[in-house]
Amino acid sequence: MKSLRARLSLWFALSATITLAVLFVVGYLLLESYIQRDLDLLNKTEFEQIRARLGTDYSALTPQIVDQRIRETTNYASVLFYINIDEPPHDILFYSNNLDGKPIPDVPGKHVYNTFVPGVGELRVGEFIMPPFDVTIGTPTRQMRQGLTAYVEVSVALLVIMLLTSGLIGIATSRMILRPVRLIGETANRIRSDNLAERIAVPSGKDELFDLVRLLNQMFDRLEASFKQARQFSEEVSHELKTPLSLVRLHAERLLVEGRLERRHEDAVLVQLDELARINQMIDELLFISRAEVNGVKLNLVSQHPAHFLRSIEPDLRVLAEHRGRRLHSVQHGDGLVAMEEKWLRQVIFNLLTNALRVSPPNGMIVMQSTVDSSGWCVSIADQGPGLTEEQCERVFDRFVRFNVQAGEDQGSGLGLTICRSIIELHGGSIRAQPRTDGPGLRVSFELPLAPPMLEPSHAVIQPLLGSS
């Protein structure tokens, strides 16, 4: 069982039921012992009556007189007692009528025991010595066994009731006990990069939960401080780099405008300008990712049909594919309304297509499939490149991660898919990569929920330049 509450409930129910079962077993043994002791006392009382009836001169009496006196004493209790008297080493001197001539079996070395007599049943036997006679008196145990059987039946019924009752009590108790833990988990789940200020409510009692909550809150304090420092450092460094990079670019462009450089020096300056543009783009992308992680990017969401949106960008997608010498096949299924900001999703699709074109072979086929159903809008782009492993698919959306980069090829910034993930998550969706199952290549797909009935659009506050990975 994966649920701690279920395990606690089961453990409580089993422990309570097993404890009660042990008590019932002990009670059974004690009850049997007490009843047997009472039967032994009855046998002894009957023996005392027999001895009193025979008198002190019993050894001088004839067998006929002994038989007569004992029968006068025992006939009234023939239902309760079974008696035979031996006179070792001679034969049996006396049988009670209810034995029908069957002797009570003797167990050597024991004076109190249980035995079975055919036609009579189980007896609780007491053997008493009255020289030269051995008096054996047995009392039926049938009533005792019936009582013990009833005890067992009641005990089993109570155990079943106990199991069910303790299970219900265990569920309620475990729910009550684990409620603070559940609240801690719910609060901790809400504490994310965009909500680092929230803390877990500290319980009143200074127990283990109090210490746990205190330690967790201290950890969140350290995480919040670390996030703030990292975010502040990223933003400050990005802004500080903008000014010197702009100045370097201005000076480089002035050198080109003046035309005083040799050809080889002009080429070097052009390379520098390209690299400066690349650095500026990377800074913009890092700023976007940093702000997106703390929900600093507000989207102007508008409900529209995905089919209409894809038709508006499909010509540009085909031109891009043809320019790279690849083919594009697009498929659209279903219809519905999806809340989106068109410029951001356009950037996501172009970025995914650019990556697919980069790894696909010449004249390769790129398949873009769009499906709208009750679960939302799903768009997948599949290429015919070398593909990625499962482990690489898990890492492909991380920052600065690049795979299948050819020598001499523009490697990009390694931030394009990270930005795609940020945009999709800002739309309330998810994105994933997985190897194709119908051939070589990689399939990257994202899913967005359907638009709610009433949508209040907000306003975008950031629009940096995005690039491909």
Per-residue model confidence as pLDDT tens digits over 333-363: 998 999 999 988 999 999 999 999 989 999 9
In this prediction, residue 410 carries a pLDDT of 57
- Give the Cα-Cα-Cα angle 9, 14, 19 (nearest 5 degrees): 130
- Edge-to-edge strands of the sheet including 442-448? 327-333, 365-373, 376-382, 442-448, 430-435
When the pLDDT of each residue in the chain is averaged and rounded to a whole number, the result is: 83
Higher pLDDT, 436 or 258: 436
Exposure pattern of 31-63 as b/e (b: 16+ CB <10 Å)? ebeebbeebbebbeebbeebbeebeeebeeeee
Q: Are 66 and 55 in contact (CB under 8 A)?
A: no
pLDDT classification of 459: cutoffs 50, 70, 90? very low
Which residues contact residue 295 at a Cβ distance below 8 angstroms, ignoring those fewer than 6 apart? 194, 426
In this predicted structure, the answer to whether residue 98 has a pLDDT above a threshold of 50 is: yes
In this prediction, residue 456 carries a pLDDT of 43
Any idea what DSSP says for residue 80? Answer: T
Q: What is the mean pLDDT of residues 412-441?
A: 87
- Give the Cα-Cα-Cα angle 94, 95, 101 (nearest 5 degrees): 135
pLDDT classification of 238: cutoffs 50, 70, 90? low
In this prediction, residue 282 carries a pLDDT of 76
Q: How far apart are CA 137 and CA 13, in angstroms?
A: 47
Q: How far apart are CA 200 and CA 188, in angstroms?
A: 7
Q: Which residues are registered as beta bridge partners of 112?
A: 126
Q: Are 85 and 106 in contact (CB under 8 A)?
A: no
Span of 89-98, 247-256, 366-375, 453-462 with lowest mean pLDDT: 453-462
- Topology of 4-147 in CATH? Beta-Lactamase (3.30.450)
Q: Which range among 61-75, 242-256, 310-324 has the greatest average pLDDT? A: 310-324
In this prediction, residue 71 carries a pLDDT of 76
Residue closest to 415 by CA, chosen among 403, 401, 432: 401
Beta strand 112-117 pairing with 121-130: antiparallel
Residue found under tokens 């209409």: 308
250 burial class (0-12, 13-18, 19+ CB within 10 angstroms)?
A: exposed
Higher pLDDT, 79 or 98: 98
Q: How far apart are CA 460 and CA 300, in angstroms?
A: 5
Q: How far apart are CA 224 and CA 219, in angstroms?
A: 9
Dihedral sign from CA coordinates of 386, 389, 394, 395: negative
In this predicted structure, the answer to whether residue 460 has a pLDDT above a threshold of 50 is: no
CATH superfamily of 302-448: Histidine kinase-like ATPase, C-terminal domain (3.30.565.10)
User: Residue 85: how many CB atoms within 10 A of its CB?
Assistant: 22
Residue closest to 417 by CA, chosen among 437, 388, 440, 458: 388
User: Would you list the domain boundaries of the chain?
Assistant: 4-147, 228-293, 302-448
Q: What is the mean pLDDT of residues 380-387?
A: 92
Q: Are 355 and 417 in contact (CB under 8 A)?
A: yes
In this predicted structure, the answer to whether residue 111 has a pLDDT above a threshold of 60 is: yes
Could you give the count of Cα atoms lying within 13 Å of 416 in the half-sphere of its Cβ? 19
In this predicted structure, the answer to whether residue 187 has a pLDDT above a threshold of 50 is: yes
Q: How far apart are CA 250 and CA 269, in angstroms?
A: 11
In this predicted structure, the answer to whether residue 464 has a pLDDT above a threshold of 70 is: no
Q: How far apart are CA 452 and CA 430, in angstroms?
A: 17
In this predicted structure, the answer to whether residue 139 has a pLDDT above a threshold of 60 is: yes
In this prediction, residue 458 carries a pLDDT of 41
Q: How far apart are CA 71 and CA 61, in angstroms?
A: 15
In this predicted structure, the answer to whether residue 250 has a pLDDT above a threshold of 90 is: no
Residue found under tokens 């790129």: 366
Residue found under tokens 């462009």: 253
Structure tokens belonging to residue 385 = 């490149």
In this prediction, residue 235 carries a pLDDT of 66
